[in-house]
């Protein structure tokens, strides 16, 4: 794994987090408890800060970055960033699933209890309404989320990734 400072800013990673051996976490990155960063994922806090809450999983090949002196990245609690997703200079609130291969661009706000569908492109400055699913290119609201989907998918995936990371931790 690559965990290194940039401009004297060191990643802050609690001991109960899992970082895969070929993941990269650099610069001004602050992680909450029980986060996981999977194989080939990159969290690059070189041009602005990246803050992550508790139980955030950054799946294989995902990229989290920001925009220099303009747009930091803030991620809440219980968030899953799917395989090969790109999260860039935006704010993601609690209990969100960012689907595989999707892109969330600068200055977007993804409100709590939402799903970004696989392959969606959430264009700059979009506000994703709480309790909704956004899909397509550009991403648009396609429906409201049921309580069952919030607890059945969003919570399940975040909790499963805490479990999976336990399989890999060498404590």
- The answer to whether residues 19 and 2 touch, using CB atoms and an 8 Å cutoff, is no
Specify the 3-state DSSP secondary structure of 165: helix
Alpha-carbon distance 171 to 154, whole Å?
A: 28
Domain residue extents for the chain: 2-149
Q: Which CATH code of 3.50.50.60, 3.40.50.1100, 1.10.1370.40, 2.160.10.10 fits the domain covering 2-149?
A: 2.160.10.10
Check whether 149 has a pLDDT greater than 90: no
- Give the tokens for residue 56: 């955030």
Specify the pLDDT at position 143.
94
Beta bridge partners of 79: 96
Using one digit for the tens of pLDDT, what is the confidence trace for 48-60? 999 999 999 999 9
* pTM (2 d.p.): 0.95
Specify the pLDDT at position 169.
75
Alpha-carbon distance 30 to 10, whole Å?
A: 9
The answer to which of 4-8, 20-24, 153-157 has the lowest mean pLDDT is 153-157
Share of the chain above pLDDT 70, in %: 99
Alpha-carbon distance 109 to 23, whole Å?
A: 26
């Amino acid at each position: 794994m690559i965990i290194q400072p940039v401009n004297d800013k060191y990643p802050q990673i609690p001991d109960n987090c899992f970082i895969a051996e070929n993941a990269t976490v650099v610069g001004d990155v602050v992680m909450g408890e029980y986060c996981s960063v999977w194989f080939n994922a990159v969290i690059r806090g070189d041009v602005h800060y990246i803050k992550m809450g508790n139980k955030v999983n950054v799946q294989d090949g995902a990229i989290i970055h920001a925009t220099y002196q303009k747009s930091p990245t803030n991620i809440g609690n219980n968030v899953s960033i799917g395989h090969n997703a790109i999260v860039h200079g935006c704010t993601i609130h609690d209990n969100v699933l960012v689907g595989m291969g999707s892109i969330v661009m600068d200055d977007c706000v993804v409100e709590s209890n939402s799903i970004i569908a696989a392959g969606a492109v959430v264009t700059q400055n979009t506000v994703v309404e709480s309790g909704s699913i956004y899909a397509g290119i550009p991403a648009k609201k396609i429906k409201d989320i049921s309580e069952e989907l919030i607890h059945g998918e969003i919570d399940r995936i975040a909790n499963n990734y805490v479990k999976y990371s336990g399989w890999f931790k060498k404590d």
